[in-house]
Structure 1
Amino acid sequence: MIHHSNGATMDTSPMSATEREQNAKARRAASASAVGSLVEWYDFGLYGAAAALIFKDYFFGTDDAFVGLMAAFATFAVGYFARPFGGMVFGHLGDKVGRKPVMVGTLALMGVSTTLIGLLPGYGTIGWFAPFLLVVLRLLQGLGAGAEYAGAVVLSAESAPPRRRGFYASWSGAGVWVGSALGLTVFQAMHSLTGDSFETWGWRVPFLLSIALLAISLYIRRRVEETETFTETKEAAQEENVPLVRLFKTEKRRLLAALGSNVILSGYSYIPQVWILSYLTEDIGIAAGLALAINAVVLLSGALFMPYFGRLGDRVGRRKLFLFGTGFGIVWPVPMFLLIDTHNTFLIILGIVVCFVGAVAVCYAAQAAFLTEMFPPAIRYSGIAFARETSGALLAGTTPLVATGLLHVAGHWWPIALCMVVYAAVALVSVYYSRQFRTDADQADPDAFRSDEAWTRTGSAARAEAGAMAKAVR
């Protein structure tokens, strides 16, 4: 046992047979969750590339390249705006019906929608009905994605033993970045293989491949069991009729802390992950192929480190790890841009990768278990889905636009670096504020994690109450 100064202990003793069995169950749940996240972001990454290169001409019947591109990106944004509604609807079902069936449903909704996009006729065949159907399928894709990641981390965290909860919950985040890189890679590969036929039928193949990924994911998920936490909550009749009502009525501060903590992932991360591509090609003069390769390196580097940071959070405390990531996010934007401005490829990669790994990957890994421990079991799925997807709808799609506008007005990167600092600072304050609801001393307590009644009290209040009872007994 490791004893902390605040009286908490973190168990480092060898695993028991029960815990080994729980680890096996956790590996199944984490694998299924990671594959689902991979499919989700394969779909989203693929759509983003196709919107920029194909959809502007194929679906909108305009000779004006700017109008077509804006229309294509508008359908891209539709998916993000739909995600909070998907989070509310499927998050509610996840807290009422169960984690597993909802995750199967959201995964199927995304995979089928993406596959059908690959079968859509263009404007030249059915006129304005083509973009209408594209928007409908994009909405369905966004609705499913809105609860997929929340369900993935809830299923992984609730299936894991307390001292490895962060490790297993982090697998879903790794799946997100692998899926994004895979979508871009498959799209580029088909572009090279089909040549002039890419704009007629080659672009469809990556979308149609989504059905194969869906089949594999569903096969893996069929072996996953419903979590004991949800089962116990339901058997104890502790589930909420409408979880969002309780969130807004009695858990507003908890929800606000969760929303704020996600700003570094829904806003800050889209600078090194998305917007930086345009800066590298338009302002630094790097070839588009090299810029995309750098982007793939960045994404895969983050995915590689995610399980390590998740495990580190289990050992040192994920709130502490989250605070470190947000703090690093405050200090690194200026050095990153200075390294990029050297025009040296190695230093450019170093600057962006260090930003993505040291700030984004650290926070992403810490957040997975952090958010599941923030909310009581009866409203956990709804709370995580709403917090993540609302901030994502507000910032994920708009941050690249804001960065582009700031660079145009100022003619320099310093306002963008300042914007990143503000995003990271908001997340840092929110994570620091979360100490009123949980501390790292609470993360190894299995009873509190699985008890809705205990989780509605703040960590400090619960310990104060326990201390008072102990004194009364003495």
Structure 2
Amino acid sequence: MDQQKATKPGPPSEATGITQASARRAAAASAIGSLVEWYDFALYGAAAALVFNQFFFHADNPAVGLLAAFATFAVGYFARPFGGIVFGHLGDKIGRKPVMMITLTLMGISTALIGLLPSYDAIGFLAPALLVFLRVLQGLGAGAEYAGAIVLSAESAPPKKRGFYASWSGAGVWLGSAIGLLTFQLMLVLTGDQFVVWGWRIPFLLSLVMLAVSLFIRNRVSETKQFEKVVDSAEVQRIPLFTLVKTEKRRLLVALGSNFMLSGFSYIPQVWALSYLTNNIGLAAALGLATNAIVLVSGAAFMPLFGRIGDRIGRRKLFLFGTAFGALWAFPMFMLIDTRQPVIIILALSVCFVGAVATCYAAQAAFLTELFPPAIRYSGVAFAREVSGALLGGTAPLIATAIFAATGHWILIAVFMTVNALIAMVAVYFSKYFRSDADQGDDERFDADTTGSIRVVEPRQSRRTKAAAV
């Protein structure tokens, strides 16, 4: 009966005032923003490897130019936590919708401007300086984009379908990465020798078209009822991140720990495995890229399904299953890759993405929004994801590379993946003290219990005064 009703917009829920139509709009707006974000990041990664080393950096040694180009790629990851802090603060102060319009615009325009930059031959050192500046802007916008996407979609969804709608953003991440890579490869084929001259610019300029479509969709989304309730009840915090760190350290640790699965673990099959396949297994680069695109699309296709499963059995249970599966699959995955059979390799990586990474991605979207009180939710989700992402996402491929260079084998890399999965599992296990699957649809619990409400931090002097009075 519930499934039949889910296909119709229907009247708003008496408890939430949310319709299926508004939930779909919010989920679609969030997903397309995530798609644009990772389209931009995928483009930059591909361009850094193929074009930027010579276009913006004139080094006598090609390896030096490549390192310089990848250094600008890393700058975007290092900028993300700062974007998460700044825009997370604004998201809890002025609202989810306006901040997401700002972050999307910042990302789209900075990406398009990269496509207009002159070369090193034209303006000298100013070219790489402008590239770094635009990369920082891109990272700042991206730092709060995904956090805002899952908060907006989760808060705009009916409680019983929150996991399903929130999971759309994760699917958008992987689809955006796949589209970015495919667009770049298509331009490489179509423009031929002119690709390094001007052909590479076209995918970057197309970001403006995607930005316009995304802004149109997001402009039709209303502010969430939960944020409006925070404003009406005068619970808006002066500095949300300060309140978060002072009063909700344990919640923050749970969120940080849960992201070990989606940063430290997932960046091995998603990023480092490509170099292993091409350099050590002997797979052609084109086949390696195709393999990566296949596993990304397969994971994205399953994510809404896992979001719906999380709505039914509980997000914490789903998250725990994904971390356990990842811990058990790391070793078999590499064993299957070592068969050097393309079909088996694709199967091994796809099972990892679907069974472990996509499962956790789908569960985490609504899981994190239900972990933090609404008044500090945007700040909590953005800070936890982006800090752990910068520390692990950017370093995991480097760690794997260093391990393989030192040992010549993948066994310790599999251990590294397993450890990250187990850390996430422990963090999700201890989330039972702050949220439960039984009350994951109860938006009023933050008003009723002390573990869910923001605890006011009293000045030291007032606490001493109170103790003396007692």
Q: CA deviation at 1:328?
A: 0.3
Superposition deviation, residue 14 in structure 1: 5.8
Q: CA deviation at 1:93?
A: 0.3
1:62 aligns with 2:59: yes
Aligned to 1:85: 82
Deviation at 1:455, TM superposition (A): 6.3
- SS of the equivalent of 1:17 reads coil
Contact 2:18 2:156 in 1 (8 A): no
CA distance in 2 between counterparts of 1:14 and 1:129 reads 58
C-alpha change, 1:82 and 1:424, in structure 2 (3 Å) is same
Distance 2:41 2:5 in 1: 41
Given candidates 197, 200, 212, the residue that maps to 1:200 is 197
Shift of 1:96: 0.3
Deviation track 1:317-376 (CA, whole Å, cap 9, x = no partner) reads 000000000000100011101111111111111111001110000000000000000000
For residue 458 of structure 2, what is the aligned residue in structure 1? Answer: none
Note the 1:34-113 alignment, pairs <5 A.
Answer: 34-113=31-110
Residues matched between the structures, number: 447
Equivalent residue runs for 1:49-448 within 5 Å: 49-448=46-445
Give 1:213's aligned amino acid. Answer: M
**Aligned residue number for residue 4 of structure 1:** none
**Distance in 2 of aligned mates of 1:420 and 1:215:** 39
CA distance in structure 1 between the partners assigned to 2:5 and 2:164 by the alignment: 17
The residue identity in structure 1 corresponding to 2:356 is A
Rounded Cα–Cα distance in structure 1 between residues aligned with 2:4 and 2:36: 37
| Match in the other structure for 1:457 | 451
Which consecutive unaligned segments of at least 5 residues does structure 1 have?
Answer: 2-10, 460-474
Preserved CA contact (<8 Å) 1:436 1:458 = no
Q: Which amino acid aligns with 2:62?
A: A
- Alpha-carbon distance in structure 1 between the residues aligned to 2:25 and 2:5: 21
Local SS of the residue matching 1:438: coil
Q: 1:17 aligns with which of 4, 11, 34?
A: 11
> Relative to 1, partners in 2 of residues 1:300 and 1:169: Cα closer, same or farther, differing over 3 Å?
same
C-alpha distance in structure 1 between counterparts of 2:271 and 2:133, whole Å: 25
Once the two structures are superposed, residues 289-318 of structure 1 have per-residue CA deviations (whole angstroms, 9 ceiling, x without a partner) of: 000000000000010000000000000000
Cα distance 1:73–1:236, how it changes in 2: closer, same or farther (>3 A)? same
Q: Which residue of 2 aligns with 1:465?
A: none
The amino acid across from 1:252 in the alignment is K
Alpha-carbon distance in structure 2 between the residues aligned to 1:188 and 1:223: 33
Q: How much identity, in percent, do the aligned residues show?
A: 67
Q: Which runs of 4+ in 1 moved over 6 A?
A: none
Q: Distance in 2 between matches of 1:36 and 1:126?
A: 33
2:18 and 2:157 in contact (8 A); partners too: no
Q: Deviations over 1:158-180 (max 9, x none)?
A: 00010000000000000000000
CA distance in 1, matches of 2:159, 2:104: 27
Letter in 2 for 1:285: G
Q: Which amino acid aligns with 1:133?
A: L
User: For 2:273 and 2:390, how far apart are their aligned partners in 1?
Assistant: 20
Which 5+ residue runs of structure 2 have no aligned equivalent?
A: 454-470
How far residue 18 of structure 1 moved from its aligned partner, in angstroms, is 2.3
Give the root-mean-square deviation of aligned CA atoms: 1.5
